[in-house]
Amino acid sequence: MGVLRYGLLRMNEVPWRSSYYPSVSCLITCYSEGEAVQQTIRSLSRQLYPGRIQIVPIIDGAAANKETYSAALSMKDEVDRLPNRVLKVVPKWQRGGRVSALNTGMNFADGEIIMALDGDTSFDNDMVERATRHFENPTVGCVAGCLRVRNVRASLVTRLQAIEYFFSIQAAKTGLSAFGLVNNISGAFGVFRRSVLELIGGWDAGTAEDLDITLRVKNYLGRYHCFRIVFDPEAMGFTHVPDTFRDFFKQRLRWDGDLSFMYFRKHWRTFSPRLVGWKNFIALLWTGLLFQVVMPVVVVIYTAYLFIAYPLGVVAGTMALVYLFYLAAMVILFLVFVLLLSERPRQDLLLVFWLPLVPIFAFANRIHGAFSALWEIFGLGHQDTNMAPWWVTKKSKF
């Protein structure tokens, strides 16, 4: 319903842009990207945006990542030649993790709008213009940017992730945003009004800093009803995803486990209508807790029950029926979403040939999600993270 609403508004939209072009600071967290960070810096410096853009790559652990540091420094002359573009490379010689890098970057940022970006993410050249237009409305505090897979042709798993990103980010967040229910501001592409970051005290130590900062912003929504988080499917970024199944499931072990950590340990008090308002409270229960944490466990229990209680023929028939239903619904939604949302319809339609594998991929991901939730609950998986070194996580209160 939200996507249909967006599509109707987009079709009747009159092309217009006011003269509001706030200054922007782009905080780029870098660790071991090497020369790939140059693509990120170049895509930001070449934005079709008349306002000032300050580009701040923060090189975490610069003493051990001299290649990334040198690659960022080598872009200075190229950026400084462009009008209204400034490059400020910040070396953090001691590694402190992603959160430490972002909070360090805030000390050097001078823009009215702050963008938190990954060093392996590049952007369409109208991204800044698309993202900043929303802040002309004083009630908008944060904008979640849209992410696509940059290395989509690298392997089978990157193609499946490209479809997943299209459904779970571009389509799902468009729908959620239509009702003011954006579930997460991506860590690779988040845009914030500076005053909002100062209000909540910046990023907090620990893992899953993107969901953490989203929930801390939402803790104000129940009291300040004019305060909004929006998603813009036209503000487009491209990120590098794992290109092997081993690396993919390793990444999701952290992502899915972090959900349980956030909901059950760190932010259980957030599940309060007084803090987040009733509609966000219901959305957190439905799309967050039940859909992302509880459902994978239910799927595993139900599948095991099928094999125990019924003959193999009944099990095979039931799972085939579920597969066909899931595939049919997904093909219909995919075509509708491409029609209403896609800015690259020909490229997206090429992925239709891989759709028959997506229900199997999703099922495997649900089983893995159940394991990740249990690993967090019983093994404290959030403490085993590559987002920060052990000497940082050890001192964290979580």
Please state, rounded to an integer, the average pLDDT across all residues of the chain.
Answer: 92
Dump the DSSP string for 8-37: HHHHTPPP---S----EEEEEEESS-TTHH
Mean pLDDT, rounded, for 72-84: 95
CB 185 within 8 A of CB 117: no
Residues 157-180 as b/e (b if ≥16 CB within 10 A, e otherwise) read: bbbbbbbbbbeebbbbbbbbbbeb
CB 145 within 8 A of CB 236: yes
- Phi/psi at 384 (5° precision): -105, 80
Least confident of 243-252, 302-311, 366-375, 382-391: 382-391
Q: What is the pLDDT of residue 389?
A: 79
Partners of 91 in beta bridges? 59
Mean pLDDT, rounded, for 333-337: 95
Mean pLDDT, rounded, for 90-96: 93
Question: Which has the closest alpha carbon to 144: 192, 198, 194, 203?
Answer: 192
Tokens of 335: 């075509």
pLDDT above 80 for 391: no
In this structure, how many other beta carbons lie within 10 angstroms of the beta carbon of residue 206? 24
What whole-number distance in Å separates Cα of residue 39 and Cα of residue 43? 6
CB 88 within 8 A of CB 56: yes
Q: What is the pLDDT of residue 270?
A: 93
Partners of 229 in beta bridges? 142
Q: pLDDT tens-digit profile of 231-243?
A: 999 999 999 999 9
More confident of the two residues 206 and 3: 3
Mean pLDDT, rounded, for 343-372: 94
pTM for the structure as a whole = 0.93
Q: Which residues contact 72 (CB under 8 A, 6 or more apart)?
A: 30, 37, 38, 41, 57, 59, 87, 89
pLDDT above 80 for 388: no
In this structure, how many other beta carbons lie within 10 angstroms of the beta carbon of residue 378? 8
242-249: long-range contacts, CB 8 A cutoff, minimum separation 24: 242/157, 242/158, 242/161, 243/151, 243/154, 243/155, 243/157, 243/158, 244/155, 244/157, 245/157, 248/157, 248/161, 249/368
Mean pLDDT, rounded, for 70-98: 94
pLDDT above 80 for 385: no
- Chain region(s) in the chain for CATH 3.90.550.10: 2-13+21-247
What whole-number distance in Å separates Cα of residue 98 and Cα of residue 76? 23
Q: What is the pLDDT of residue 156?
A: 97
To the nearest 10°, the Cα dihedral for 130, 192, 283, 6?
-10
Mean pLDDT, rounded, for 61-83: 94
In this structure, how many other beta carbons lie within 10 angstroms of the beta carbon of residue 268? 11
What whole-number distance in Å separates Cα of residue 230 and Cα of residue 183? 10
- At 229, the amino acid letter reads I
Tokens of 394: 């050890």
Q: pLDDT tens-digit profile of 260-291?
A: 889 998 999 999 999 999 999 999 999 888 99
Q: Is 135 exposed, middle or buried (0-12, 13-18, 19+ CB in 10 A)?
A: buried
Question: Which has the closest alpha carbon to 167: 191, 187, 148?
Answer: 148
User: How many helices, marked H, and strands, marked E, lie in the chain?
Assistant: 18, 9
Q: What is the pLDDT of residue 327?
A: 97
Mean pLDDT, rounded, for 100-111: 95
Mean pLDDT, rounded, for 101-128: 95
Mean pLDDT, rounded, for 214-239: 90
DSSP state at residue 95: -
Mean pLDDT, rounded, for 14-27: 90
Residues 354-364 as b/e (b if ≥16 CB within 10 A, e otherwise) read: eeeebbebbbe
Q: What is the pLDDT of residue 398?
A: 66
pLDDT above 70 for 397: no
* CA angle in degrees (0–180, nearest 5) for 98-99-105: 90
CATH code for 2-13+21-247? 3.90.550.10
Strand 228-239 relative to strand 189-193: parallel, antiparallel, unpaired?
unpaired
Tokens of 160: 């499946």
- Candidate ranges 2-6, 25-29, 120-124; pick with highest mean pLDDT: 25-29
pLDDT level of residue 16 (50, 70, 90 thresholds):
confident
